[in-house]
Amino acid sequence: MSKSTGPRTPKGKARSSQNAAKHWIESGRILPEEQREAAILRRGFEDDFKPQGLIEEEVIDDLVFNRLIKRRIDIAFTREFSKASIETTIKEMDHRERSSIQYWLRIAGLSNEYRTERERAEPLNPDDCIPALKTLQSLIRERGVQPEDLPKLRDIYGDQPTEYAALAMYLLVPVATKQAEQDKTAETKHDAELKTDILETLQTEIQQQERRQELAQRILEIECAPDLQEPPRHTLETLLRYRAANTREFNSLLDSLERIRRLRRNAA
């Protein structure tokens, strides 16, 4: 059999026109970049079915085009699932950044200008919370407990402190509210005990945040895994309808080819 160079019937040649009106699944033409694949498919179908006569040649052309459409659908599935994975990653990045944005706005005293009545000031995520807590812990260890430590801790947690953060805030309230008359450079016994209690509480909170960080990373790896992401439901349903219709058409074409051959045998 001679080497196939593509569609042979008038309908098949029309589909092979270089002037494709649409560059996607619904295009009724063979796209320029599909010409080589179309020729390979046709050669394979000719080897399998050995068409005789114009009608069978047209069925072969339709089978070739049907398989090209199937490949377009497969490409669309791959593309949409890849997009879903990227979009999930971007969404997660935006979510993680939101708490940092709120933190810096609180530090700048601008948080009220960017909040609505329904919004809550989110705490820093563990990746940022742990360094901030360690910095505060280091400051307290070096110069003792100071009134400004409570606002610093509140800035870290916004409206949503954890259990140990709330305990640390409770311990810091008397320091923030009292009007100390003694020399700030001298630590009383009570101040030393308070300092120890706060440092221990902050250390426990850091350990809790490290645990949260570990769990958050595991969740992130699961949520952003490419093989678990699905495109939007309407996109997925559309592609599935394309695939089902393509399969029905393929089966119908095979049935048509068999009927034509049966009629030819009966006529003989």
Q: Tens digit of pLDDT for each residue in 236-248?
A: 999 999 999 999 9
Q: Coil, strand, or helix at residue 80?
A: helix
pLDDT recorded at residue 136: 97
Predicted confidence (pLDDT) at residue 6 exceeds the cutoff of 70: no
Predicted confidence (pLDDT) at residue 158 exceeds the cutoff of 80: yes
Cα 22 to Cα 69, 76, 153, 217: the distances in Å are: 13, 15, 59, 43
DSSP single-letter state for residue 9:
S
What tokens does 95 get? 């979510």
Q: How many residues does the chain have?
A: 268
8 A C-beta contact, residue 168 and residue 153 = yes
The full DSSP string for 50-63 is: ---HHHHHHHHHHH
Q: Which pLDDT tens digit goes with each residue over 62-88? A: 999 999 999 999 999 988 888 888 888
Confidence of residue 16 (pLDDT cuts 50, 70, 90): low
Predicted confidence (pLDDT) at residue 29 exceeds the cutoff of 60: yes
The full DSSP string for 198-214 is: HHHHHHHHHHHHHHHHH
pLDDT recorded at residue 170: 93
8 A C-beta contact, residue 106 and residue 121 = yes
pLDDT recorded at residue 231: 87
Cα 120 to Cα 178: distance, rounded to the nearest angstrom = 29
**From the DSSP assignment, how many helices (H) and strands (E) are in the chain?**
8, 0
Cα 165 to Cα 133: distance, rounded to the nearest angstrom = 10
8 A C-beta contact, residue 81 and residue 229 = yes
What predicted TM-score, i.e. pTM, was given to this entire model? 0.59
From the list 45, 84, 14, the residue with the least C-alpha distance to 227 is 84
